[in-house]
A and B are shown apart, each in its own frame.
Chain A
Amino acid sequence: MDYNKILEGCLKGNLKAQRELYDCFASKMLGVCMRYSANREEAKDILHDGFIKVFTKLNTFSGSGTLEAWMRKIFVNTALEQLRKNDVLRDTVDYEGITENLDANVDIESDLNRDELMQIINSMPPGYRTVFNLFAIEGYAHQEIATMLHISEGTSKSQYARAKIWLQTKITSKYSEP
């Protein structure tokens, strides 16, 4: 798809072009939003705020990377802002130094499908979920996550470890279900 024309229209504030851009990326971005949210309503709020940011800051897109990557970054940041705003990251600060005892082996060979995994992630406490998303799916390092969430690197690691335990527990319980 030729995004240049769409981008040009968006830069002019053309609503039709904005709709086209939305149609191109809304599903993917809502997927991102869903991973950081406990439910769809929260995700929709992030989707809304994220697209408003995209349209208002489109002129800062340099074109050096892909548009999707640039947008994904905006949506992740928007999600984090939302979490901070709702004070849901408060419980991410007290777990530094206990990482070693929290290592867990996640059975990644399980036959859980994507939706089931998504359900488990959504059910995580916000702190676990956020760090898990950033580390395991977005690929950020713990140091970067620490900076993004204004926490220590150790806290990020412990949150991730706990998230894994949570994940393992949920997977195990899924398999143990009759």
Chain B
Amino acid sequence: MSSSGGKAGGIHAGERRFALALTVPGLLVLLLTTTFPLLYLIWSSFQTINLAMPFMDGFAGVDNYIQMWGDSRFWHSLKLTAIYTTSSVTLQILIGLGLALLVMQIPAGQWIFRIVAILPIVLAPVVVGLFWRTLMLSPNFGLVDYLIQLLGFEQVNWLGAPTPALISVIVIHTWQWTPFAFLVLLASLASLPPDVYEAARIDRASAFQRFWHITLPLLRPAIVIVVIIRSMISLAAFAAIFAATGGGPGTATEILNLYAFKTSFVELNFGYGSALAVSLLVITMVISGVLFYLRTARHKATAA
């Protein structure tokens, strides 16, 4: 088509030039602001860069990666990242979907839920982390602690003991982002065609059958998308944990993000911190690749 010459080719060539002129500034900025720093990160992961000991700086080869392989703190942070991401995303989907189905049944006042749900989403994660750390989870003065004792349970040092701290940061993340899943799923529930339900009702399908055989398959694309987005954001999570626990106690909530950050900015070991960040980058790429592949494979399967 494009090389067919004559007037049409001229128009297309002009269009291409115009399209390039429109995209080049944006892409150039992306190249400089994103790709260049990433290349720099990869380069520095093969260096010894320690601001505390600058005299040691120099080419390190794969030393940082060898160190990482034998670093139990790295494997621990990787495990925490996996637990944090899978559990918070699962909880978000389950609670979000349940809440969306529930709110759909309510005859009036759905708007209240929509307004309330938007609030956690627009708050800064660092503020959410701080609120929970102080007002909610602090021993003695926190609201959660008070309510738990009111119900007759033992006091729990939520952010001071390893397992409760991990549960807490997962709950905080789930609290902030379940409304996202809720709102997106509520919107797609509202857009489902009512006639399929009518047909099912005439067939005397039970409520559960209707959900399992009609609603869930129709919602699947939306659920898959929410899973993809939330997984990516969960893998990039930083501020809320940093504010709530700082990765502690010890390394109990130190997901890979925080480990890479602390290695660089607390221990000032930028070479090793870069290697940790590169591993995070690779993991994110692999997971997003798998999720997108599953999504398109599913699309093709349903289209065929």
A, B bound: no
